[in-house]
A and B are shown apart, each in its own frame.
Chain A
């Protein structure tokens, strides 16, 4: 199973170190899109920790996901400089265009809409990340363009 190999591989990198739990979970979440119940069980077993403790750490951090994400993940910056620069219109455009509220995934599994804390690109706000790409100086029209462009293949 490719996913379990992934988990094994990441565990190996950190050498079974309990202190690296946060980093292991983040890496697994990044590689597989989320930490599945099976992956969580494997990590707990390998580190000799109760699953409840691993779950408590996993659920604390926003970059560790416990739900499978959509094909594309949008992370919209919700912080002050982007807000002052007109972030609310962008926020509303995203919700309206995709028909889902923040935190949700579209029924067809194409898009997941999330917020992120500041990504440090404040000088070109409002800003969003689509998958690993940063888009700045957003306007409602530009958002529609980006959605069409990125989602074109879906």
Chain B
């Protein structure tokens, strides 16, 4: 049935369910249910609950259930968009029109089509690539096109996709398996979730093409259990693809059979590592195994297996529709095509973007991200998730591609982009990331299990004012040993945040150890809150709000903070009406 209007709500925002429910109620009330359709989809913008009304393309932001009645009555019944709800974000400037720097290949349909209706995808040339491949191309021709495209693994390591497929194709033993890595565990990265929730068929189609090339008949989606909406969307999409004959037996009458199953993770970061992931699919502890043998030789149940990331597969249909050369026309010499990034941290516009590889960090932070929050100073960007590195300001004009990121001690990873301002302490951040990998280490190999623990202890000492001369050198030495000696990518990358911050921000480490000062005023043991007696008006507000009674002073008298009692919670600074309290 055709609707005269569609409302798309970003289902991932807190409170989206309530707004969705309110729309349904209001439409019921006004008897518009048969004319207007409300859909839950994945969001991109990150300004609270958003609703886009098509065909008018009006985008409402920061919605609450109370706003819904007005929108329904004014816009949907009377045809007058409620303009003051479209840009209702007072603290953040409205988004500029889509920056020309963004090019959407992977995200082209996200937020635009109804992910629960396969016909929406078909209308956007969906499954045309699969039809062309199965009816007119040999696997070798597909490989040739993939080679021309220059597509490299979007899970982070950047291995050429056509080469991976060739390895699996050349193995003589059957059955072969195909796996999609949707265990997107990197903090701050949610591009895979967005694709799975917003355009699941593009991934399914890419997988079917890959399966045809390598000769697999069974595939697995491994998706983390923290993504329930993605899993639900995927299950519906698989059902519809089977119904339309894009999965199952004798697809497009070509004699090619392929089907897919969804497997859910259960909360283990290391399962994003391919060998650990395959153990988890088999129902075991998700612990990595040594490579070689690589999955192409001995993967799931020791059979030849091809494993790619969600974003890698999502690129495939477009490459085969528009040609490898089209894809290779974007990007740099060695890093072709576009890449999605999840922008988070101290930047004005957080959210997902997709850009041709080779744009500079500055373009991402300032032109697309809108600059640093509160116009503070850019300090560093941490790319590639917890195993990535921190890149300082002097590299702002560096192009973002696999090689350039590696040359400054970071990685592409899945595309996390956490931006830090002058108020971020780099030692604290390094400690934070190390704490994360230490926690997620599966414990199988000694360098990762014991090494990260010892490094964390040293960092804790430094942040708590017990750093000693020689600590920096010891961290560097241990870090290098862990990189060399660990079994899988988690251990090999674990010291990266520490090593890269030592490389680029050594002076901050030195200030912590030798001067017992935290230059960014973050590390509790190294800072002190003081009342400026010239400014204090004796209002007693700080003393009344102090949770540990560390502030002495009578009304109308100057107040004093006792540093031996103070827990550096910062509440006094927040409540002081005359800004008399500061950190030293």
Interface residues of A (CB under 8 A from B): 17-23, 25-26, 56-57, 60-64, 78-85, 89, 92, 96, 116-125, 127, 133-136, 140
Asked if B14 and A124 sit within 8 Å, CB to CB, the answer is yes
Partner of B436, one of A79, A84, A133: A79
Partner of B14, one of A25, A64, A121: A121
Known contacts A61-B286, A62-B267, A117-B226; 16 further A-B pairs (Cβ under 8 A): A22-B264, A22-B284, A23-B264, A26-B225, A60-B287, A63-B265, A64-B267, A82-B187, A85-B345, A89-B570, A96-B547, A117-B269, A120-B227, A123-B350, A125-B344, A140-B571
Which residues on B sit within 8 Å (CB–CB) of A22?
Answer: 263-266, 280, 283-284
Asked if A62 and B14 sit within 8 Å, CB to CB, the answer is no
Partner of B424, one of A63, A84, A125: A84
Which residue in chain A gives the minimum CB-CB distance to B382? A80
Which residue in chain B gives the minimum CB-CB distance to A134? B14
Which residues on B sit within 8 Å (CB–CB) of A81?
Answer: 187-188, 344-345, 350, 418
User: Smallest CB–CB gap between A134 and chain B, Å?
Assistant: 5
* Cα A60 to Cα B184 with chains together (Å): 18
Can you name 25 A-B pairs with beta carbons within 8 Å?
A19-B281, A21-B284, A22-B263, A22-B265, A57-B283, A60-B268, A61-B265, A62-B267, A63-B267, A64-B266, A79-B436, A80-B418, A81-B418, A84-B345, A84-B420, A84-B424, A92-B569, A116-B267, A118-B185, A118-B189, A121-B12, A122-B342, A124-B13, A124-B48, A136-B14
Which residue in chain B gives the minimum CB-CB distance to A54? B283
Q: Does B285 contact A (CB under 8 A)?
A: yes
A21 and B283 contact, Cβ closer than 8 Å, known pairs A62-B266, A80-B433:
yes
* Cα A3 to Cα B284 with chains together (Å): 24
Asked if B188 and A118 sit within 8 Å, CB to CB, the answer is yes
Give the interface size class of chain B.
35 or more
* Cα A56 to Cα B284 with chains together (Å): 8
Q: Does B304 contact A (CB under 8 A)?
A: no
Which residues on B sit within 8 Å (CB–CB) of A135?
Answer: 14
Which residues on B sit within 8 Å (CB–CB) of A84?
Answer: 344-346, 418, 420, 424, 429
- Which parts of B250-288 form the interface with A (CB within 8 Å)? 263-269, 280-287
Q: How many A-B residue pairs have CB under 8 A?
A: 131
A57 and B188 contact, Cβ closer than 8 Å, known pairs A26-B225, A80-B418, A89-B569:
no
B185, B269, B432 interface centre (most CB from chain A within 10 Å):
B432
Asked if A25 and B432 sit within 8 Å, CB to CB, the answer is no
User: Smallest CB–CB gap between B293 and chain A, Å?
Assistant: 21
Asked if B14 and A123 sit within 8 Å, CB to CB, the answer is no
A20 and B14 contact, Cβ closer than 8 Å, known pairs A61-B267, A120-B226:
no
* Cα A61 to Cα B224 with chains together (Å): 11
| Closest 6 pairs between A and B when the two form their complex, measured CB to CB | A123-B46, A79-B187, A63-B267, A61-B266, A62-B267, A81-B344
* Cα A96 to Cα B432 with chains together (Å): 21
* Cα A26 to Cα B223 with chains together (Å): 14
Asked if A78 and B14 sit within 8 Å, CB to CB, the answer is no
Which residue in chain A gives the minimum CB-CB distance to B269? A117
Asked if A118 and B268 sit within 8 Å, CB to CB, the answer is no
Asked if A60 and B285 sit within 8 Å, CB to CB, the answer is yes
Q: Does B186 contact A (CB under 8 A)?
A: yes
Partner of B187, one of A21, A56, A117, A124: A117
User: Smallest CB–CB gap between A87 and chain B, Å?
Assistant: 9
Q: Does B190 contact A (CB under 8 A)?
A: yes
- Which parts of B226-260 form the interface with A (CB within 8 Å)? 226-227
Partner of B432, one of A83, A125, A140: A83
User: Smallest CB–CB gap between A138 and chain B, Å?
Assistant: 10
A19, A61, A122 interface centre (most CB from chain B within 10 Å):
A122
Which residue in chain B gives the minimum CB-CB distance to A78? B436
* Cα A57 to Cα B12 with chains together (Å): 30
Which residues on A sit within 8 Å (CB–CB) of B267?
Answer: 61-64, 116-117
Which residues on B sit within 8 Å (CB–CB) of A63?
Answer: 225-226, 265-267
Hey, what's the 0/1 contact readout for B7-46 against A, CB within 8 Å counting as 1? 0000011100000000000000000000000000000011
Which residues on A sit within 8 Å (CB–CB) of B282?
Answer: 19
Hey, what's the 0/1 contact readout for B280-311 against A, CB within 8 Å counting as 1? 11111111000000000000000000000000
Which residues on A sit within 8 Å (CB–CB) of B547?
Answer: 96
User: Smallest CB–CB gap between A35 and chain B, Å?
Assistant: 11
Which residues on B sit within 8 Å (CB–CB) of A20?
Answer: 283
Hey, what's the 0/1 contact readout for B410-445 against A, CB within 8 Å counting as 1? 000000101010001000010011001000101000
* Cα A61 to Cα B420 with chains together (Å): 31
Asked if B345 and A25 sit within 8 Å, CB to CB, the answer is no
* Cα A60 to Cα B440 with chains together (Å): 10
* Cα A135 to Cα B48 with chains together (Å): 11
User: Smallest CB–CB gap between B554 and chain A, Å?
Assistant: 27
Hey, what's the 0/1 contact readout for B180-196 against A, CB within 8 Å counting as 1? 00001111111001000
Which residues on B sit within 8 Å (CB–CB) of A62?
Answer: 266-268
Asked if B226 and A18 sit within 8 Å, CB to CB, the answer is no
Which residue in chain B gives the minimum CB-CB distance to A87? B432
User: Smallest CB–CB gap between B268 and chain A, Å?
Assistant: 5
Q: Does B351 contact A (CB under 8 A)?
A: yes
Q: Does B386 contact A (CB under 8 A)?
A: yes
* Cα A97 to Cα B345 with chains together (Å): 26
